[in-house]
Amino acid sequence: MSTPTVDVNQNGNVKTEDTLCTLAEFEECDFSKLLEKPPRILNMERQRSLDERSLSDLSIGISPRLSARATDINTSRIFEPLDFICSPVGRRSGFNTPRSQTGFEPHPMVAEAWDALRRSLVYFRGQPVGTIAALDNSEEKLNYDQVFVRDFVPSGLAFLMNGEPEIVKNFILKTLRLQSWEKKIDRFQLGEGVMPASFKVLHDPVRNNETLMADFGESAIGRVAPVDSGFWWIILLRAYTKSTGDTSLAELPECQKGMRLILSLCLSEGFDTFPTLLCADGCCMIDRRMGVYGYPIEIQALFFMALRCALLLLKQDDEGKEFIERIVKRLHALSFHMRSYFWLDLKQLNDIYRYKTEEYSHTALNKFNVMPDSLPEWIFDFMPVRGGYFIGNVSPARMDFRWFCLGNCIAILSSLATPEQSTAIMDLIESRWEELVGEMPLKVCYPAIENHEWRITTGCDPKNTRWSYHNGGSWPVLLWLLTAACVKTGRPQIARRALEIAETRLLKDNWPEYYDGKLGRYIGKQSRKVQTWSIAGYLVAKMLLEDPSHLGMIALEEDKQMKPLLRRSNSWTL
C-alpha cells in the first residue's frame, strides 16, 4: 500500500492523492497486520477520530479513569485502529469517472446503478432526505413508496463512499426528529426511543407545503414495531462520523439524547435471565411471521454492533458516563452468551446430539434443556468439517438451526465473532456455496421451511412459501454485507465471485427485490423491480472491492481485551 501525498491548494485546504492498493495486493495482505499500521492523518482538525475505547478500560471497576478521560472530550480523541482504512471525505469513488482510480474499468452496470439510485432520492423542502424503497410503478405501491430506515443504510453508505455525506446527515436529522413524535398503536403508547420503520413525504398542493408521515409499526403487516431501526440509525451515525471526520453531528445534544433513548429501551431491566433482546416475530428485515420470535440472531448482532458504536459516539458527560458503564457491562455479557450458546460447529453439533435432558443443577451441561431429537435432519449434512456459524435463535428448549445471512455478516463486522469464528463462517459459505449463493446471491436464510412446518410457522403465508421471499429467498442487497465481511476476513475473492454471478442477471432483470427457487434462479413472484437497496447494495459491494479502505466506516476491530471465549468443556455447554 502506498502512502498518500498531501498538497495544499490556493484556498489553504488540504487535498490528497492516494494511490490505492490493487485487489491482488490487498488479497496478499494479512488484514490483522494491516491493523497494526499507524493511522494516516490528512487534516488533524477535520479528521479527528472517534476514540476506540477498550471495554476493559471502561469497566465499572475503573471509573476514575473515565473521569480523567472526560476532562476534555473534544480534544482527547484517539484514532481507532481502523482509521487508516477509512477513506477521507470528499474523495469520490472512481465510478463517476471513465476509469476508476485503481486502474480497473468500471462495470457497465455501475453507471446504470448510480442513475437509478439518484432517481430514487426523496426530497423534503428542497433537501434530499432518503431514498424510496422501490421505483416499480407496475405494482400497487403499498409502502414501497416510503423511505425505510433499514433500506436506506446501503444507500447512505454508497453516498458516503462517493463523497456525498449531506444526504446522510439530512436523513439522520429527519429520522431523529420523527423519534420525538408521540407513538401510539390503538390505545397503547410506544417507548419514547422507538425509531420509525419508514416515513413518507406528503405534498399538499393547496397549501403548497410538505409534511412528513412516519410509520412506527401501526401500519405495518402484523403491527410490529421495528426493533432494528434504532440500531441501524446508530450504526449509520457512526459511519457518517467515521467517513467525514466530522464529530459535530454526533455531538449535537439532539443526537446524544436520541442515542440515549434508544439505549434506554434496550438496556432496561426486566425479567430476562439472558443479555440478549427478546423480540416479536417480524421486528426486523424478516418483517412477517417466520418463526424468528424470541432471540433472533439478526437483532442480537445489530444490538451488539449498535452498543459498540454508541460507546464511541456518546459524550463522557454525567449522562453519557452512566450509559457507557451500562453498555460495557452488557457487551461483556452479550459477547460471552452469543459466542458460547449461539455458536455451532461440528464439535458442538456432536455434543448436542449426545445431550442428556431434564438436568437440574448449576453444573447442568444441557442448560436450556434442548431435546436432541429436535435436531433437524438437514443439519447433519449441512455442517461441514471445517466451518461454523451463529444459529438463528436460542431460548428454553428451542434452538433454531437455520442459517441467517445478515446476522452472521454483522457478527463478523462488529467483531461479535472472534477471528476464529469469522474464518469459520467464511469457510462455511465456501463449503456450502450452492446452498447459500447458488445462481443469485444470497439466501436470506437456509433452509426453507415447508409442508406442515410452513403452515404452523408462517400461518400459511402465501408470500413466504418455500424458497421464496424471507423463506429461503435470495436477496441481492445482502451482497454488500457479504463483501464487507469478506474484505474484513481477508477473502475478497469470495465476494468477487458472488458479484460476478449477480452481474449476469441484476441489470437485465431490472434490479429485483429478491429471487425465488432453491438456487435463486427465478425472479420472485411478488418481487418489486428497481428495488433501491438491491441497487445500493451492489454499488457498496463494488466500491468496497475497488477501495477496501471504505471498510473502516462499517467495521469494528476486535477488542482484544474483551473477556476471552471460554472453551467448551465439562463446565460449559448449552
Report which of residues 562 and 315 the model is more confident about.
315
- pLDDT of amino acid 105: 64
Distance CA 216, CA 237 (A): 20
pLDDT tens for residues 429-441? 999 999 999 999 9
Q: Using a pLDDT cut of 70, give the percent of the chain over it.
A: 79
**Cα Rg, the chain, nearest whole Å:** 23
Determine the 3-state secondary structure of 11 from DSSP. coil
Peptide bond into 413 cis (omega under 30): no
| C-alpha–C-alpha distance, residues 435 and 472, integer Å | 10
Cα(291)–Cα(454) distance, integer angstroms: 10
Cα 234–chain centre separation: 11
Give residue limits of the domains in the chain: 123-553
Q: What is the pLDDT of residue 446?
A: 98
- Least confident interval from 21-30, 432-441, 564-573: 564-573
Q: Which of 29-33, 49-53, 216-220 is most confident?
A: 216-220
Distance (Å, rounded) from C-alpha 135 to C-alpha 77? 42
Predicted pLDDT at 357 = 86
Q: What is the mean pLDDT of residues 144-158?
A: 97
To which H or E segment does residue 4 belong? none
pTM of the predicted model as reported, rounded to 2 decimal places: 0.83
Cell of 475: 436477496
pLDDT band, very low/low/confident/very high, at 141 (cuts 50, 70, 90): confident
The pLDDT assigned to 46 comes to 37
- Distance, in Å, from the CA atom of 312 to the CA atom of 331, rounded to the nearest integer, reads 13
Percent share of the chain, pLDDT over 90: 68
| Mean pLDDT, residues 93-100 taken together | 43
Contact indicator for 468, 525 with CB cutoff of 8 Å? yes
Beta pairing partners, 225: none
And the C-alpha cell for 130?
A: 432518503
pLDDT at 166 exceeding the cut of 90: yes
Instruction: State the average pLDDT over residues 170-192.
Output: 89
CA-nearest of 390, 399, 381 to 424 is 390
Mean pLDDT along residues 252-264: 97
pLDDT of 23 strictly over 80: no
Q: Closest Cα to residue 330, out of 352, 313, 351, 307?
A: 307
pLDDT value for 489: 98
Predicted confidence (pLDDT) per residue in 458-496, tens digit? 999 999 999 999 999 999 999 999 999 999 999 999 999
Which CATH code of 1.50.10.10, 2.30.30.360, 3.50.50.60, 3.40.50.300 fits the domain covering 123-553? 1.50.10.10
Work out the mean pLDDT of the chain and round it to a whole number.
84
d(CA 172, CA 4): 31
Given a cut of 70, whether residue 267 has pLDDT beyond it is yes
Q: Grid coordinates 452469543 are at which residue? A: 338
Q: Amino acid identity of 76?
A: S
3-state secondary structure at position 515: strand
Mean pLDDT for 541-570 is 79
Q: What residues contact residue 420 under an 8 Å CB cut-off, 6+ apart?
A: none
Which pLDDT tens digit goes with each residue over 272-308? 899 999 999 999 999 999 999 999 999 999 999 999 9
d(CA 393, CA 400): 5
Strands 14-17, 147-148: pairing is unpaired
Q: Is the pLDDT of residue 539 over 60?
A: yes
Measured at the CA of 494, the angle between CA 491 and CA 498, to 5 degrees, comes to 150
